[in-house]
């Protein structure tokens, strides 16, 4: 794997070549990844993988025309032809009044902030194997577990360099460690499965393998003997591992491209209260060791914490430069890059916890559901209509009772947002983190 300096030099060389070949402006993103993983099943080694890859994406501008091209072949001849092809493509592309590099006066200047996402620990495959075996053994040791889908452990490192022709050049790296286990309980048609996993930037922050395995085992056994529930409106409690998807739908509705295409159910909600006053949702790209922390965005703009929802009010859109120009606004430092032009997305997002504990949140529920799994993709981003398969547990008189399955929960995201109540059990485990959430008035389709 190249060093950060070498990665940045490679991108700088490509941008310089594009300018020399006639591009009015250009930017290049160089990325490289290395990962190792080990999986086991029923106490035996099942797979060992090691992969390394590198890729580069070049975007060139000729007047108001632009083109992007990517390659994973780093040979000098290939990179040279990449430049020629990109410029030839740009000359044939239609004009785009909104395209262009980020505003020069908004670029990050000085050394990028340290977001502490690089761990020097590089576990050998034998250690990954031990961790995977420990997770599966703990899961299989839970009474009621009858089979295993396996367990695994992994480690990865990625590096990215971004260079633009108008003065930005920087690079950063990040690491990840992970452990997972998935097991089965029961037999025949009554069989149930569940899993547990954890990922962290630092190995020291990773849950122990036996804790992950035990969590997988207990979750699976708890799902045995599910029952159906009668259809009707009822309050829903969302477990944090699925409740974060609600914030994901919010993010998808406030990114610049969704607004410019007028394909968002929140199109007319800017500056309005769409959540209760007690709800604040923050995006924090500089959170130390955050799973999506980054010192600059995909166009070279600095990142900073901001409230997406401030006391219930939608504060603004997440904008890359192109969507910002189209809307007559300023980019917000949320540009992301794949193999082509930038898009926009959030980073580390969390919903600020409330004051009630999870048990207090459900204490007054006479008949409701505690949802731990969501199935399918039945969410309309244009209308906000929400309908998803689900599984979890019945709540009777404020107490979590038996497992339930084969149900559908439905509503509209605007109505759901307006009725969210947050518990106080926020735990930073994912890129998007929420405490236990309660939403009243959803429609349940069951038996």
Closest CA to 196 of 217, 176, 177: 217
Span of 94-98, 244-248, 443-447 with lowest mean pLDDT: 443-447
What residues have CB less than 8 Å from 208, skipping those under 6 apart?
none
Instruction: Say what percent of the chain tops pLDDT 90.
Output: 92
Q: Provide mean pLDDT across the span 384-406.
A: 95
Domains in the chain, CATH or no CATH each: 4-220 (3.30.2290.10), 226-447 (no CATH)
Q: Provide mean pLDDT across the span 9-19.
A: 95
Tell me the average pLDDT of the chain: 95
**Structure tokens belonging to residue 36:** 């190792």
Q: Tell me, what's the pLDDT at 167? A: 93
Q: Tell me, what's the pLDDT at 377? A: 86
Q: Provide mean pLDDT across the span 377-385.
A: 94
Residue matched to tokens 């709800």: 279
pTM: 0.95
Reported confidence tier of residue 447, pLDDT bands at 50, 70, 90: low
Each residue of 298-326: pLDDT tens digit? 999 999 999 999 999 999 999 999 999 99
Each residue of 19-71: pLDDT tens digit? 999 999 999 999 999 999 999 999 999 999 999 999 999 999 999 999 999 99
66-85 burial, b at 16+ Cβ within 10 Å, e below that, comes to: bbbbbbeeeeeeebeebbee
Helix (H, G, I), strand (E, B) or coil at 203: helix
Q: Tell me, what's the pLDDT at 162? A: 97
């Amino acid at each position: 794997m190249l060093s950060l300096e070498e990665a940045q030099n490679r991108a700088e060389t490509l941008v310089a070549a594009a300018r020399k070949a006639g591009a009015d402006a250009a930017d290049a993103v160089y990325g490289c990844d290395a990962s190792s993983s080990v999986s086991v099943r029923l106490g035996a080694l099942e797979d060992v993988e090691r992969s390394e890859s590198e890729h580069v994406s070049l975007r060139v501008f000729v007047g108001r025309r632009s083109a992007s091209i990517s390659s994973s072949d780093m040979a000098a001849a290939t990179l040279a032809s990449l430049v020629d092809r990109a410029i030839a493509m740009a000359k044939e592309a239609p004009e785009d009044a909104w395209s262009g590099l980020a505003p020069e006066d908004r670029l990050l200047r000085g050394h990028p902030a340290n977001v502490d996402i690089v761990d020097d620990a590089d576990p050998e495959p034998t250690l990954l194997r031990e961790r995977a075996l420990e997770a599966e053994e703990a899961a299989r040791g839970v009474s009621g577990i009858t089979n295993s889908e396996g367990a695994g452990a992994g480690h990865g490192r990625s590096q990215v360099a971004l260079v633009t022709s108008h003065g930005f050049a920087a690079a950063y790296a990040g690491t990840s460690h992970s452990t997972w286990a998935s097991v089965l309980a029961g037999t025949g048609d009554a069989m149930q499965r569940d899993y547990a996993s954890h990922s962290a930037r630092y190995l020291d922050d990773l849950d122990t393998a036996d804790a992950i395995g035990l969590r997988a085992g207990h979750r699976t056994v708890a799902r045995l003997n599910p029952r159906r529930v009668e259809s009707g409106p009822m309050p829903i409690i969302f477990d944090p591992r699925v409740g974060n998807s609600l914030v994901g739908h919010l993010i998808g509705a406030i990114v610049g491209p969704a607004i410019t295409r007028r394909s968002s159910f929140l199109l007319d909600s800017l500056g309005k209260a769409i959540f209760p006053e007690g709800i604040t949702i923050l995006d924090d790209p500089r959170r130390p060791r955050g799973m999506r922390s980054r010192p600059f965005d995909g166009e070279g703009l600095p990142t900073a914490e901001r409230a997406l929802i401030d006391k219930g009010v939608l504060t603004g859109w997440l904008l890359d430069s192109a969507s910002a120009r189209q809307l007559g606004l300023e980019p917000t430092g949320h540009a992301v890059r794949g193999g082509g032009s930038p898009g926009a997305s959030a980073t580390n997002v969390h919903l600020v916890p409330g004051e009630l504990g999870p048990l207090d949140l459900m204490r007054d529920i006479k008949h409701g559901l505690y949802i731990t799994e969501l199935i399918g993709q039945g969410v309309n981003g244009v209308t906000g209509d929400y309908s998803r398969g689900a599984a979890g547990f019945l709540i009777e008189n404020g107490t979590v009772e038996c497992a339930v399955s084969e149900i559908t929960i439905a509503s509209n995201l605007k109505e759901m947002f307006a009725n969210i109540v947050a518990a106080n059990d926020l735990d930073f485990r994912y890129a998007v983190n929420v405490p236990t959430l309660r939403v009243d008035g959803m429609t349940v389709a069951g038996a």
